[in-house]
């Protein structure tokens, strides 16, 4: 049998997982999928994701690939992979792709949505949003988002300890703040994100909405490219990886 490369899109509720990527000290989504693939193929199969999501972060459109020989129709592999996964993980699609496809290195960009709920959310919404009980100036948040869009050094918006050892310039091609009733949806899209960058962007936008930061403070964060205590990292449960672009 010929070994083929398989591309999958999956969704998951990250509440009880230690993030996407395998690591010591917790069960990751990658671990669960690899266990199921090992059951199907009777050998260890390594999964390569488009990128990490942190503990508690969710996904509608995480992409991963793996290499394996499969003698049956792709639909049977799709059904087999879906069959024994826990309810918190769903394989949305599976197809054979070219051998040079890579879920991480081939990605051209990612889109994240962050959900903020104004006031007390119901039990079905609460686990998947950041509840805020203070009024927000949405217009000010939208003005701050406009400042942040574009190509900047986002060193102030990464949560790595110590100096960043990689290039911290990113092209934030989309940052929108949309109010839908009592929910705010903050959408961020870029060719790439730094560690906890989206949650830091959300934290700054919320601080602007609460009046704790002014637009001049946001501009200073961009210009000075230095992390300061005023940059709060939003909690993970409101964040969703929505789409990976290729």
The catalytic site residues sit at 54
Q: Whole-angstrom Cα distance, residue 169 to residue 147?
A: 15
Alpha helices in the chain (DSSP H): 29-41, 74-83, 138-148, 197-209, 215-224
- CA-nearest of 13, 123, 28 to 59 is 13
Q: Whole-angstrom Cα distance, residue 237 to residue 58?
A: 7
DSSP state of 100: T
| CA-atom Rg of the chain in angstroms | 19
Q: Quickly count helices (H) and strands (E) in the chain.
A: 5, 10
Please enumerate in sequence order all residues whose Cβ is within 8 A of that of 88, keeping only pairs 6 or more positions apart, or say none: 12, 13, 15, 16, 17
Alpha helices in 42-171 (DSSP H): 74-83, 138-148
Three-state DSSP state, 135: coil
Please enumerate in sequence order all residues whose Cβ is within 8 A of that of 23, keeping only pairs 6 or more positions apart, or say none: none
């Amino acid at each position: 049998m010929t070994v083929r490369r398989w591309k999958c899109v999956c969704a998951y509720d990250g509440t009880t997982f230690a993030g996407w990527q395998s690591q010591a000290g917790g069960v990751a989504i990658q671990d669960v999928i690899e266990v199921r693939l090992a059951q199907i193929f009777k050998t260890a199969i390594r999964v390569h994701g488009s990128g990490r999501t942190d503990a508690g972060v969710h996904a509608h459109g995480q992409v991963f690939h793996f290499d394996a020989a499969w003698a049956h129709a792709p639909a049977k592999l799709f059904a087999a992979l879906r069959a024994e996964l826990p309810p918190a993980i769903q394989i949305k699609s599976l197809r054979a792709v070219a051998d040079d496809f890579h879920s991480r290195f081939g990605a051209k960009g990612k889109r994240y949505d962050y959900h903020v709920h104004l006031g007390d959310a119901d039990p079905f919404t609460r686990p998947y949003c950041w509840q805020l009980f203070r009024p927000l100036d949405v217009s000010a948040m939208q003005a701050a988002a406009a400042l942040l869009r574009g190509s900047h050094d986002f060193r102030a918006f990464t949560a790595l300890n110590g100096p960043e050892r990689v290039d911290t310039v990113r092209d934030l091609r989309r940052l929108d703040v949309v109010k839908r009733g009592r929910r705010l949806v903050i959408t961020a899209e870029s060719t790439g994100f730094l560690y906890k960058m989206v949650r830091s962007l959300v934290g700054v936008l919320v601080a602007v909405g609460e009046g704790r930061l002014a637009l001049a403070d946001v501009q200073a964060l961009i210009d000075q490219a230095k992390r300061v205590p005023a940059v709060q990292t939003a909690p993970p449960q409101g964040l969703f990886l929505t789409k990976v672009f290729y």
